[in-house]
Structure 1
Amino acid sequence: MIFKKIITLISFILFIGCNNDKSDERLNVLFIIVDDLKPLINSYGSNEIFSPNIDRLASNGVLFSKAYTQQAICTASRMSFITGMRPDYTKVWDLSTRLRDINPDILTIPEYFKNHGYQTVGMGKVMHGARNNDPQSWTIPFITNDMFEYAKGYKMPANLYQSSDIHKKWDSLQAALDADPKADRGWFAVNSVMKNANLRPLTEMLDIPDNAYADGASTLKSIELMEMFKKNREKFFLTVGFQKPHLPFTPPKKYWDLYDRNEIKLAEYQLIAEDSPGEAYHKSGELRNYHDTEPNMDENGIVNDDKQRELIHGYMASVSYIDQQVGYLLDYLNESKLDKNTVIVFFGDHGWHLGDHGLWNKHSNFEEATRTPLIISSPSIDGGFVNNSLVELVDLFPTVCDLAGIPVPKKLHGKSLLPLLDRKELKVKDFAISQYPRRCNVMRSVIGAYPDDCTLMGYAVRNDRFRYVAWIKGNYEDRSLFDISNIEMEELYDYENDPLEKKNIAYENNYKNIKDGMIKDLRSVIWSK
């Protein structure tokens, strides 16, 4: 009897020990989201960009050269990749719908890691599209900009700026709002006041510390938290959402100084594509939210060359600013030895137009808006190579689970990229799908005035050579039955012969079979019948 008890006790101890070993083998995750980041990075072939730290990450990890967002706007993209579900499932297509309004029980990546015993924490711009940054996703309350510790002598940026004039006006405006309970505190109302006062510029160039702005402050907070997790021997899923290179472009002066504005090249092709529908474009409404935009536009909405160079200069400087923050994170991981058990996922939520097709911002189905950088590094993979197959941001959820060592949830829309990271497969899919709505009142601030109801959705299918876009009319909340007669307009671009998307060839007979095949691909993912 005593012998049986001893055997039982030993078995229990071994069981606990094995479970602890299994838990210890799981990897931490550093999830780095960069707002509006297109692949304008040295390691992606943009030699004019100074990005040594992102390049360092790429040299140790796997760089995906053809990664695509599911919708080129912050809210829809983020709520899609953070849940592993496409926008037609989340129902977040715009700036007003919130994640759990329609799907209250939807699962997010950090929530899933939390359920598996991880410490989960996020900061910066992460859950844009969820109410209050989705409290149920985090074991530690989400850290907002007003909670950061900024550089000595600096308080939280005023409406993203550190200019003293802007701070004065901003403080005055906030005092007026506090004094009037009936005042409109909405984003557009408040920013209209700043714009009308000529205190909402596209750029700011001040000689101040990195952590005078939120991105620099969030880097230091991330390091502080990782050090805490290390000391407590806790597994963590830490998400840092860098807010540049989103407008306004406000990196510290030293990053502007990396570039000579006179040598900056403008977009090679700034016209609309031949035979393309007007719905493929927008009015660069996001850019127009700043006071110095329209004075530098002509009657057709084309930004003059000097302003274009300033904007591109600001974008490039902002990328280099974020690159330095990535460098600080990598240095800490290396010095703390956490790099030995931490997965790093680095990506942009979507791309950004820098004057091509006469467009600025995102909000389209073109290559410049939908393609984004994606770099994954893990101690469990032998990196240092480029994968040129098509992948989607919706693939991140299953991938990060596989890499961390936790089960992959069922019924996710994405596919794990682990076979690509392990070099067991060359590709996991043949095409990527993006989408963008038009004729929508909810998007009026972004693309200009349209009729009140959303009546048109552009679905883009991107394969290795072509992009096909079907502009489908009707109620796009119902995708149970495909009706080809609802395709109102089409686009087709051949990137082998037309990399700048100069001509829409959707109506040329020579490409009918290609178009039909891509319609079939689209139907297989979006429609149930």
Structure 2
Amino acid sequence: MRLTYSIVGILTAMNLIACSEKATPPNILFIAIDDLRPELGCYGKDYVHSPNLDQLARESYLFRNHYVTVPTCGASRYNLLTSQLPKDGGDLSNMVAAKEISEKFIASDSAPSAKPETFIHALRNNGYYTVGMGKISHHPDGYVYGYNEPRSNQLELPNSWDEMLFDAGKWGTGHNAFFGYADGSNRNGMKKQVKPYESADVDDEGYPDGLTTNLAVNKLKELKQKGQPFFLGVGFFKPHLPFTAPQKYWDLYEEEKIPMALFAAIPENSSKASLQASGELNQYLLGEEKAGLDSAVSDTYARKLRHGYLAAVSYVDAQVGKLMDELEKQGLAENTIVVVWGDHGWHLGDQLTWGKHTVFDVALQSVLMIKRPGQGGGNIEQVVSTTDIYPTLMELAGVKMDYEVDGESMKPLMDQPQEATWRNTAYSYFKNGISLRTPRYRMTKYFRKQAPEIELYDHQEDPYETKNISAEKPKVVEKLMPLLERGDTGIYRN
């Protein structure tokens, strides 16, 4: 009898311990990677050297059809942080967070509103210690100031952070570091008389992302000792232009073997107005060639640029590996959610374009993986949106939301990847267009003078979006139009 009670006591104690552990809020390590399209081994690109992200993907829920809401850095990040679809043209600007969050905070005499400014603010309100470093919102160090100005003290997200950190190293400011070269120069100071790529015989700390990694590694050690659930946001710059990386990452690739864009032309029945003339790339005035919509750059130059992009991807992959190693070393991995998110895709000569700023798939599809402690993960094929990340993290963290957002929690998909009730759509906005992505189709309605008004691409038959078939498939357009119009927030009429 005594033995029975002893066993019951042990089981009760074990249950109490289990409940206590279950009640412990998970930490969150959020890694934002600038301009990272799904150009990784885990997305089937076997020519890419991305072992650390590939390993993390095997331990995570890998979203194979994740699309951003706006294909430009600041507006995409604003959507991530607020889970709000853009309602007017200002919401498509890189300055939207500065105007809608930072400036309104100042105008209200620095009095925080009841509604969280971002999901990070919501976590902070619920007991999380929040630390940001690098590019989480638009400005590369989290402070609002111009490219050629000294760093200000105006936080872009004033209520979100307990700490906002950045090591600008030899570059001096976040903006200079963002456009920095290995010798400490930068695109701004050089008045754009620079190449769009660079390989240098330096260690990882020879470029800014290596310094950010060191900062994050040291902060994880501190957070381990703090004994409080934390949110650590780490924003890496690469592979954003300029495509710079230590030489050892360039050496991972044989340039002549790097594959070219699978479709480098304006899609049939489309328009130049749907694309863009690679203005961001062409700002690097010492580039060997100018890209445009009238003709493709040479294969030699295209391979050089793609080489630079891939080297930068491999460089940032190594930084992610260092973070994951430290998470394990500190014993934090078993209770930390890890998110890797690319803020949008990037045309690498696809559709005759170099850059983002279109509503084609290559500008909108980006990396998303979420590692949940104690969960095995797996591939998720359903269409999801960046808008869905906010409510997902709130549910995973056990934070109640009593305010409206435009996204939906993806936790049901992670719990049951074949979830039949998932909406399976994503909306995106740019170029005076509203674009709808479904599992099979991308349909875009443009509000402009140039024809065509509607573009439709069948990803089952035409995965590289080579031909607009809206005129050939009027019944498909008719069927999809009510669904597209659900995403019409009045953005082009406000």
- TM range, normalised to the smaller chain? 0.7 to 0.9
Asked whether 1:194 is paired with 2:156, we answer: no
**2:209, 2:236 within 8 Å by CA — same for their partners in 1?**
yes
Shift in CA distance, 229/504, structure 1 to aligned 2, threshold 3 Å: same
Partner Cα distance (2:224, 2:88) in 1: 37
Asked whether 1:526 is paired with 2:488, we answer: yes
Partner Cα distance (1:462, 1:135) in 2: 30
Please, which moves more after superposition, 243-252 or 327-336? Answer: 327-336
User: Matched residues, percent identical?
Assistant: 33
Counterpart in 1 of 2:394?
A: 401
What's the offset of the Cα at 1:282? 0.6
Q: Counterparts of 1:49-60 in structure 2 under 5 Å?
A: 49-60=48-59
Counterpart in 1 of 2:12?
A: none
Partner Cα distance (1:255, 1:155) in 2: 25
Counterpart in 2 of 1:462?
A: 437
What's the offset of the Cα at 1:272? 0.4
Partner Cα distance (2:58, 2:438) in 1: 26
Shift in CA distance, 120/321, structure 1 to aligned 2, threshold 3 Å: same
Shift in CA distance, 215/128, structure 1 to aligned 2, threshold 3 Å: same
Partner Cα distance (1:361, 1:41) in 2: 18
Partner Cα distance (2:22, 2:215) in 1: 26
Asked whether 1:503 is paired with 2:467, we answer: yes
Partner Cα distance (1:401, 1:415) in 2: 11
Partner Cα distance (1:21, 1:116) in 2: 18
What's the offset of the Cα at 1:101? 3.5
Counterpart in 1 of 2:179?
A: 160
Residue 65 of structure 2 aligns to a residue in which SS? strand
Partner AA of 1:70 in structure 2: T
What's the offset of the Cα at 1:257? 0.4
Counterpart in 2 of 1:490?
A: 454
Partner AA of 1:387 in structure 2: I
Asked whether 1:81 is paired with 2:86, we answer: no
Q: Counterparts of 1:313-392 in structure 2 under 5 Å?
A: 313-383=307-377, 385-392=378-385
Please, which moves more after superposition, 96-105 or 394-403? Answer: 96-105
**1:431, 1:462 within 8 Å by CA — same for their partners in 2?**
yes
Counterpart in 1 of 2:133?
A: 123
Partner Cα distance (2:178, 2:29) in 1: 28
Partner AA of 2:401 in structure 1: V
Q: Counterparts of 1:96-495 in structure 2 under 5 Å?
A: 96-101=95-100, 107-128=117-138, 131=144, 132-146=154-168, 160-164=179-183, 167=185, 190=188, 194-195=191-192, 198=193, 200-293=194-287, 295-297=289-291, 300=294, 302-383=296-377, 385-423=378-416, 425-426=418-419, 428-437=422-431, 457-473=432-448, 489-495=453-459
What's the offset of the Cα at 1:31? 0.5
Residue 344 of structure 1 aligns to a residue in which SS? strand
What's the offset of the Cα at 1:30? 0.4
Please, which moves more after superposition, 390-399 or 270-279? Answer: 270-279
Counterpart in 2 of 1:181?
A: none
Partner AA of 1:495 in structure 2: H
Residue 396 of structure 1 aligns to a residue in which SS? helix
Counterpart in 1 of 2:151?
A: none
Shift in CA distance, 299/227, structure 1 to aligned 2, threshold 3 Å: closer
What's the offset of the Cα at 1:139? 3.8
Partner Cα distance (2:292, 2:411) in 1: 49
Counterpart in 1 of 2:149?
A: none
What's the offset of the Cα at 1:408? 3.2
Shift in CA distance, 52/513, structure 1 to aligned 2, threshold 3 Å: same
Partner Cα distance (2:88, 2:293) in 1: 40
Counterpart in 2 of 1:94?
A: 93
**1:210, 1:252 within 8 Å by CA — same for their partners in 2?**
yes
**2:261, 2:350 within 8 Å by CA — same for their partners in 1?**
yes
Shift in CA distance, 299/58, structure 1 to aligned 2, threshold 3 Å: closer
**1:40, 1:46 within 8 Å by CA — same for their partners in 2?**
yes
Partner Cα distance (1:409, 1:67) in 2: 26
Partner Cα distance (1:123, 1:133) in 2: 12
What's the offset of the Cα at 1:495? 1.0
**2:66, 2:386 within 8 Å by CA — same for their partners in 1?**
yes
Counterpart in 2 of 1:43?
A: 42
TM-score (ref. length: structure 1): 0.79
What's the offset of the Cα at 1:284? 0.4
Deviations 1:402-458, CA, capped at 9 Å, x for gaps = 112222343111110101111265352221111103xxxxxxxxxxxxxxxxxxx20
Asked whether 1:513 is paired with 2:488, we answer: no
**1:256, 1:317 within 8 Å by CA — same for their partners in 2?**
yes
**2:117, 2:160 within 8 Å by CA — same for their partners in 1?**
no
What's the offset of the Cα at 1:95? 3.1
Partner AA of 2:203 in structure 1: P
What's the offset of the Cα at 1:225? 1.2
What's the offset of the Cα at 1:142? 1.6
**1:68, 1:370 within 8 Å by CA — same for their partners in 2?**
yes
What's the offset of the Cα at 1:353? 0.4
What's the offset of the Cα at 1:96? 4.1
Partner Cα distance (1:413, 1:47) in 2: 35
Residue 507 of structure 1 aligns to a residue in which SS? coil
Partner Cα distance (2:224, 2:451) in 1: 54
Aligned length: 449
What's the offset of the Cα at 1:278? 2.5
Structure 2 unaligned blocks of 5 or more:
1-15, 106-112, 145-153
Shift in CA distance, 143/458, structure 1 to aligned 2, threshold 3 Å: same
What's the offset of the Cα at 1:138? 3.5
Partner AA of 2:440 in structure 1: R
Shift in CA distance, 23/139, structure 1 to aligned 2, threshold 3 Å: farther
Residue 444 of structure 2 aligns to a residue in which SS? strand
Cα RMSD for the two superposed structures: 2.8
**2:293, 2:352 within 8 Å by CA — same for their partners in 1?**
no
Partner Cα distance (2:364, 2:48) in 1: 20
TM-score (ref. length: structure 2): 0.84
**2:118, 2:160 within 8 Å by CA — same for their partners in 1?**
no
What's the offset of the Cα at 1:309? 0.8
**1:79, 1:99 within 8 Å by CA — same for their partners in 2?**
no
Structure 1 unaligned blocks of 5 or more:
1-16, 171-186, 438-456, 475-485
Structure in which a larger fraction of residues adopt helix: 1
**1:120, 1:137 within 8 Å by CA — same for their partners in 2?**
no
Shift in CA distance, 25/220, structure 1 to aligned 2, threshold 3 Å: same
Counterpart in 2 of 1:25?
A: 24
